[in-house]
Amino acid sequence: MTRPIPPPIVISHLDAQRIEALLDSPQADALDTRALEAELDRAERVAPAAMPADVVSMNSTVRIRDENNGNTRDITLVYPREANGDPGRVSVLAPIGSALLGLRVGATIDWPLPGGRSTRLTVVALDYQPEAAGDLHR
């Protein structure tokens, strides 16, 4: 079985720099960050002011739908120090966080679950994106 081709992603230069610094920190040493590193490698990088308004960036609040059961949930993509255990705040170092980074509204991804299962997640809406809101230095 072939793996599905992942959708293209866009990341701001600022987010990429901050995430690369995070990956070089001791905080990331105990984690498997290969998927996030691969996402950074394949991403189109743009200036924050040029970030398309329909792309999930750091500190964005996004609505996702689980295509297996139709459930939706809102999450905010954050840096680990801001995750604070709130289920609505997902670290970019978490598998779902690294998978959502850079996706456009309407994109669908396969997301692995424990026990070898997987689900398909669709980005339904982007309720807040810092770049679109003019908060370019968050």
Asked if residue 64 belongs to a domain, the reply is: yes
pLDDT of 112 strictly over 80: no
Q: Which of 33-37, 40-44, 86-90, 130-134 has the lowest mean pLDDT?
A: 33-37
Asked if residue 87 belongs to a domain, the reply is: yes
Q: Which of 9-18, 68-77, 88-97, 106-115 has the lowest mean pLDDT?
A: 106-115
Instruction: Encode 16-41: b = buried (16+ Cβ within 10 Å), e = exposed.
Output: beebeebbeeeebeeeebeebeebbe
CA distance 31 to 60: 23
pLDDT of 1 strictly over 60: no
Q: Closest Cα to residue 55, out of 138, 135, 128, 136?
A: 128
Asked if residue 5 belongs to a domain, the reply is: no
Domain count, the chain: 1
Residue 35 in contact with residue 89, Cβ under 8 Å? no
Asked if residue 97 belongs to a domain, the reply is: yes
Domain of 94, in residue numbers = 10-132
Q: Closest Cα to residue 102, out of 42, 49, 28?
A: 42
Q: How confident is the prediction for the chain on average, in pLDDT?
A: 88
Q: Closest Cα to residue 40, out of 60, 22, 53, 26?
A: 22
What is the tens place of the pLDDT at every residue in 15-61? 999 999 999 887 777 778 888 888 899 999 999 999 999 999 999 99
Beta strands in 41-117, from DSSP E residues, in sequence order = 44-46, 61-66, 72-78, 89-91, 108-112
CA distance 57 to 102: 6
Asked if residue 121 belongs to a domain, the reply is: yes
Asked if residue 4 belongs to a domain, the reply is: no
In eight-state DSSP terms, residue 9 is -
Tokens linked to 93: 């170092």
**pTM higher than the cut 0.85:** yes
- In CATH, what number is assigned to the domain containing residue 79? 3.10.50.30
